[in-house]
Chains A and B, each alone.
Chain A
Amino acid sequence: MVQMTDVFKVYENGTKALKGIDFKINDGEFVFLVGPSGSGKSTIIKLITGEIFPTEGSVIVNDFNMNKIRFSQLPYLRRSLGVIFQDFRLLENKSVYENIAFAMRVIGASNKEIRRRVPYVIDLVGLNDCTKRRPMELSGGEQQRVAIARALINNPKLIIADEPTGNLDPARSLEIMVLLQKINTLGTTVMVVTHEKELVNRFSKRVITLDGGRIISDGMDGYYSYGNEKAELFH
């Protein structure tokens, strides 16, 4: 669950990234967060992961009040989240299996738990044939599947993906979105940041549209709803 109430974010250099954000994402939802470059999408993600904190307004994530959270509580907030980035952020010197197991190992899981859980997640994302390979030996789509597996491994309540298909061709992008939707049907809340209009419009999901630090629309019609002149900014 994510709830933002009247959230403002001013960066240290004076940039006003968010100017009064209000929304609530309930458990089990699948939500697209869209908007042009610089509209504040990543700022919202960082407020959720506790990398930055709101200048004004309240942010609640999975029962953690981000306005009051203590530094020592941040790891526990993050264990309830699975984060996916455009650039995958995999460790090049570790195999696919080790990249995924690493996320369990560093929060103190036992080898037994790791041996039980990792194959299940690898199977879920469809990477059974690549467990021993290094990230460099995989395609972009496969690398993003590794990142998704890693995000899922500790069974988070919420998956956040910041432009997960930004480096992929349309066919791979669609596969990744389908995978994220499958993960959502298995019970995990999913929030996907993107600015790929065609992709969003293929799914009938809730779409929150951001522009200039404000929400300009929030609807269930699955429509990527802002003007052409702005859409051109993306390319």
Chain B
Amino acid sequence: MTEWTDITVMVMRKLNYFIKEGVGSIFTHRFMSFASVFIIVACLLIMGSFSLLALNVDRIIDTLEDENQIMVFIDENFTETAARSLEGTISAIPNVTSVEFVSREMALDSFKDLYEDSSLLEDLDADVLRDRYIVYLDDISQMAETQYELAKVDGVVKVNAHLEISEGFIKVRNIVSAVSLLLVAVLLVISLFIMSNTIKLTTFDRREEIAIMKMVGATSSFIRWPFVVQGLILGLLGALLAFLAQWGLYQLVSSNIVSGTGLSFISVIPFEKVSIYILASFLAIGLGVGIFGSIMAIKNYLKV
């Protein structure tokens, strides 16, 4: 029992020392501390904005996938029974999630409903006299391959797919993902660099203190902790401020998209749905940058 309370007391004592020293260093180097927090906020905001953009594009593609269907027309010489018998073959094609048979009568009926009073029936498209399948896809990005496979099926005479839309969005998604990844990597390096340089200022100030600590037998971790605490506090501050800024920015931009522009068919992911992930990622990155930045800063002082 007493042993455990002893250990607790010792841990608390050290913690008290580390926090006091760490906070002290932040105030000693107010300007650099402010600068490093600012840089972390900026980096997180850029990372966050691009990730949110990528998420939204992804979601738009998902919606498209739900609605996206390929129309497969069957040879008009096939009887309805013959046409129906193709269902198995078509469903078996990779990337096809479901198929729906529409007979030529059904199609004609709905066509007539649509153009009741028109004379369009005169020059009817040959398609109207064909049985058809509505084919739903799993992955929109493979639409072209699937279309090709469908066209090869015996009895299929025509396959209609809106390749342009899907390809457009997929291109956007790929670009956004690539740019986000690249940005995250570059900004991580920049944040780490700024953080470790801020803390290097403190280690430089304290090089004599560090030398004495080593001389009298302080452990490396004891020497390191105040700097890690300094980094952690800066990282935490950066993460929280970036989260608030991201929240504000997202609300602003998304409300403008929905109301102001003609893009109202796009529904934006509500911030509340992703806020916990954004906060968690910001905290992880902020604290990680704080820890690694400080370890990098102190590394050279801890050799022998």
Q: Which chain A residues have a beta carbon within 8 Å of chain B's beta carbons? A: 49-52, 71-72, 74-79, 81, 83, 89, 91, 102-103, 105-108, 110-111, 150, 154
Contact = CB atoms under 8 A, between A and B. Distances in A.
Contact of B215 (A49, A91, A111): A49
Contacts of B218: 75, 106-107
B6 to A, nearest CB: 10
Interface of B: 9-10, 13-14, 17, 208-209, 211-220, 222-223, 304
List the 9 closest A-B pairs by CB distance, nearest first.
A79-B217, A78-B217, A106-B218, A103-B216, A75-B217, A75-B219, A106-B213, A107-B217, A83-B215
Nearest to A104: B216
B13 A78 contact: no
16 contacts: A51-B304, A74-B217, A77-B217, A81-B217, A83-B215, A89-B215, A91-B208, A102-B209, A106-B216, A106-B222, A107-B216, A107-B217, A107-B218, A107-B222, A110-B9, A150-B216
Contacts of B14: 108
Contacts of A106: 213, 216, 218, 222-223
A108 B222 contact: yes
A122 B292 CA distance: 40
A146 to B, nearest CB: 12
Nearest to B223: A106
Nearest to B208: A91
A8 B217 CA distance: 26
B212 A89 contact: yes
Given A81-B217, A83-B215, A106-B216, 16 more contacts: A50-B304, A72-B220, A74-B217, A75-B218, A75-B220, A76-B217, A78-B214, A91-B209, A103-B212, A106-B218, A107-B216, A107-B217, A108-B222, A110-B9, A150-B216, A154-B217
Contacts of B304: 50-52, 71, 74
Contacts of B213: 106
A81 B216 CA distance: 8
